[in-house]
Amino acid sequence: MQKRHLNRIQYFEEQEFTTLRYVIPFIEKFRKIEAGMKILEIGCGEGGNLKPFLERRCEVTGIDLSEYKINLARSFFNNLPLTGHPELIAEDVYNLPSPEVKYDLVIMRDVIEHIHDQKKFMAFVQQFLHDESLFFLAFPPWQNPFGGHQQICKNKILGALPYFHLLPSCCYRLLLKSGGESEATIGNLLEVKETGLSIERFQKIVETSGFQILSKRYYFINPNYEIKFGIKPVRQSRLIGGIPWLRNFLTTSVFFLLSPCGKH
């Protein structure tokens, strides 16, 4: 898994595939993605999620903390035969000024679970939205088999070991260290452990942050696994999806579509 994680072109193409095949159809149940729409991705990385929106002639902006990833995104897009290019910003989103023109759609894929003080963030992001905007988020519930992002481990056994991220932090650190993981990797994984998000906690944050849930979808098999591993996505059963707490352990990805201020 580590080799795939380090191949950033492959990662770009995987993000593009899943957004085109699954994210956009999920959003379009509420609004068609049309030319001229203003799209913002927070935590865009190398920008793979942005390409399908550019191909529909949307006005696209991506922001990411990593200057390295933004530079990769610029190089990838410069080599693509597209009529337009995204605006790419290497910056902390909290440092952006409130835009005069709001976005029609804000997207975040597998990012919210990395953010500290998620309640503060959800209130902050309102300034980028107008009354008719949509906000798409996808994340892996923390308790799922690989919710700790342990697939980034160099140790092949640890990278394929489910649920061990749920150990107490001291035991988790010890196991990672004994498996030969670097302090940087251990630090990253412990941060995910600290910020990891359950479905129930996210829904409570949404309810207190001025958003309405338009739609949600639970996946037993993550849609991204189709392009990564050749495994077709499977939606979570209604029975498991209806049982709070249990569904976090058996759901590998959840999609949410929100609207601000309950205006929809």
**Distance (Å) of CA 226 to CA 156, 175, 211:** 21, 30, 31
pLDDT of residue 1: 45
* Cα–Cα nearest to 215, from 263, 254, 261: 254
| Interval 69-93 mean pLDDT | 91
The verdict on 169 and 139 lying in the same domain is no
**Phi and psi angles of residue 3, each rounded to the nearest 5 degrees, phi first:** -60, -40
User: What range does the domain containing 34 cover?
Assistant: 2-144+196-260
The verdict on 166 and 247 lying in the same domain is no
The verdict on 125 and 60 lying in the same domain is yes
List the CATH number of the domain containing 242: 3.40.50.150
pLDDT of residue 30: 95
d(CA 162, CA 249): 11
| Interval 74-89 mean pLDDT | 88
pLDDT tens sequence across 166-207: 999 999 999 999 999 999 999 999 999 999 899 999 999 999
The verdict on 64 and 94 lying in the same domain is yes
Plot region of 134 (φ>0 → left; ψ -120 to 50 → alpha; else → beta) = beta
pLDDT of residue 6: 53
Percentage of the chain beyond pLDDT 90 is 86
pLDDT tens sequence across 215-224: 999 999 999 9
